[in-house]
Amino acid sequence: MRDFNEQVKNRLMFYFAVVFFVFILLVLRLVWIQVINSAEYKHKALSQRVKEFVIDSERGMIYDNTGRKIAVSLPAKTVVALPDNIINPQKTASELDPLLDINYNTIYRRITSDAAAIFLQRKIEDELYQKIEAKNLKGITFTEESKRYYPEGELASHILGFTGIDNNGLNGLELSYNNQLSGKAGKMIVERDAEGKTIPNGIRETVPGRDGYNIYLTIDEVIQYMAEKELENAEEKFDFSGGSIIVMDSSNGDILAMANTPTFNPNEFGKYPDRNWRNRAINDVFEPGSTFKIITAASALEEGVITENDILTDPAHIYVAGEEINCWSRYGHGKQSFAEVIKNSCNPGFVEVGLKMNKETFYSYIKAFGFGEQTGIRLPAEARGIIPEYERIGLIELATFTFGHGLSVTPIQLAAAISAVANDGKLMRPRLVKKVDTGNSSENIINDPEVVRQVISKSTADKTKELLKQVVETGTGTQAAIEGYQIGGKTGTAKHYNEDIYDSSFIGIVEAAERDLVILTILYDIKGETYYGSQTAAPVFRNLTSNILNYLNVKPDTSKKNGYETNETELEVPNLIGKSFLKAESDLRDQGFNVKLIGDGELVRAQLPDPETLTNYNSTVWLFSNEQFKEELLLAVPDFRGMEAAAAVKLAKQKGLNVVLDGSGKVIGQSVYPGKRIKSSKKINLKLR
């Protein structure tokens, strides 16, 4: 009996020890939960009762320069499935299958998932919303979101870009200004009971969001429409892969229009091929062809190696480093002033002028005009253009650069560079966005016009503009002329290598009241017999410019003469040998000559043309501090054939060449082939009969 009692007592003690141990564990656990780690469990308890709702911000609107809305945000319905509430998923899926952009299997899989709620299709059209709502499907509901909408459809689509389903910008200004346009989402915190009902006196907190900022552009919706319409019209007349038009206010860099074709509707961008999304005015490069001659002319005039009255010759070709460079004219233009070279768009003439500048000088002007670098217009994927590295440029490359071959530029680079000529020589940064409106005038982001650099002087810019006017008046750009308006410009035609395909262009400077507009038209990859810029791009320019001037209420003025007036006065070149550079230059300028100084010496040791030569007023006299500098110059040989002896001798002296006459009458042969470049000391034998 005693052993039994002892055994019971031991069991009781054991059970008591176990219970006591468990009790200690529970106490320690309670201390851990209630004291040591109480904050964490309070947070978990609260999170079970508190529901956080995201409050979407509204994306900012985009306006043109007159305040017209061209990108807005509208409410849109999103189809939501509540799987727990769907009684017959097969029937529901079959009802939605023909209406939604997803198939039956995908719908069924989603509406039978474990999720409390799931999106089926976001931001649907109102018509589709009405159809689905009319079916009154159990477990199918809607939530409201914000949807980007472009009221004018395709208008300015390449500038605006588009947004994705989550309202983030994917292209164009929507992408590059996404941070400003998208705003910041807010949230609402609400405390609920176990049944999901809001607790009347529970936690309720709102964290406000911020709507996106509105953006004001430089684009004029009407001018943009006109530009796009002209490209559309051109598609009906010519066979080409696409086109670009840029209208730029040269005084401040404002882009009034930037149109491209092919185009797309940003409201339905997914229905178009990717190539339609490309903003070719920004993203693509092309050989500018003869439009680049404006850069060559402005650079040479600024550098003082040429004036509009200097005499040049074109025997239909010129030889550079053994290569023949031809003129578009089969027979050439013969003797002509530089003003006529510009008017006639003569390649050999521009080569001769370009080679008067050394490589370093011409290359520096190409870079100064902004080629080979981004303009900073702030659109996605802006190309830099293709300018060969300085070390890889030889005489041939330098020669072809003068007429726009061998390098590639973007349309926006070309428009900005020619705007510098129109704007007193000041290169402006192209501007698309004027202002980002933050809702607080003191914090608004203002994009003021920005001068990048002074490229050429005002006098050179003015002279270049005058010379370009004659191109439109009587030269290769007559198809761009508009009666009563002052227009200067240049055509361009660049052939693709190894293909009968061309890029044709025209760029014009148009006087419009108190400002000059620069308008560039490009048609890419033209096929067929009609491909010259004068035949294709120039008429597009004329039609567009006429409409723009009418819209801006710029009245024609027939009292002004359009074009450069030549001064046919001839002057005799004085003898400057032995004079100081300073004195010689002063005397020459006083007499009506342009002067180019070569060398670092103080005295004139050689000159070109030689003394007593009769040449044009304001033509260039070269002064050398060392005779070797003159000897190193290579001079283009004219075609003397058919000229009277006196005329041939006079032309040779004006060019700085030595000729020896054999016989009398007219020249019937010459010992150096026309277009060759030789030293001034080499004699040219002329056979006369």
* Measured distance CA(305)–CA(310) in Å, rounded: 9
What tokens appear for 69 in the block?
A: 């809305």
* Measured distance CA(176)–CA(181) in Å, rounded: 10
Q: Which residue bears the tokens 């978990």?
A: 44
Residue 534 a catalytic site member: no
Distance of CA 297 to the CA centre of its chain: 23
* Measured distance CA(689)–CA(672) in Å, rounded: 18
Q: What is the DSSP letter of 209?
A: -
Of 57, 73, 244, 290, which is the active-site residue? 290
* Measured distance CA(366)–CA(372) in Å, rounded: 8
Contact 63, 72 (CB under 8 A): no
CA distances 344 to 142, 380, 509, Å, are 68, 39, 18
Pairing of strands 620-624, 594-598: parallel
Cα Rg of the chain (Å, integer): 38
* Measured distance CA(397)–CA(406) in Å, rounded: 7
Residues 6+ apart with CB under 8 A from 138: 85, 86, 87, 88, 92
Distance of CA 659 to the CA centre of its chain: 51
For residue 447, the tally of other CB atoms under 10 A from its CB is: 16
Q: 453: helix, coil or strand? A: strand
Residue among 407, 409, 408, 406 at smallest CA distance from 325: 406
What tokens appear for 10 in the block?
A: 């031991």
CA atoms within 13 A on the CB side of 274: 1
Q: 603: helix, coil or strand? A: strand
CA end-to-end distance (rounded Å), the chain: 163
Distance of CA 184 to the CA centre of its chain: 31
Q: 415: helix, coil or strand? A: helix
Residue numbers annotated as active site: 290
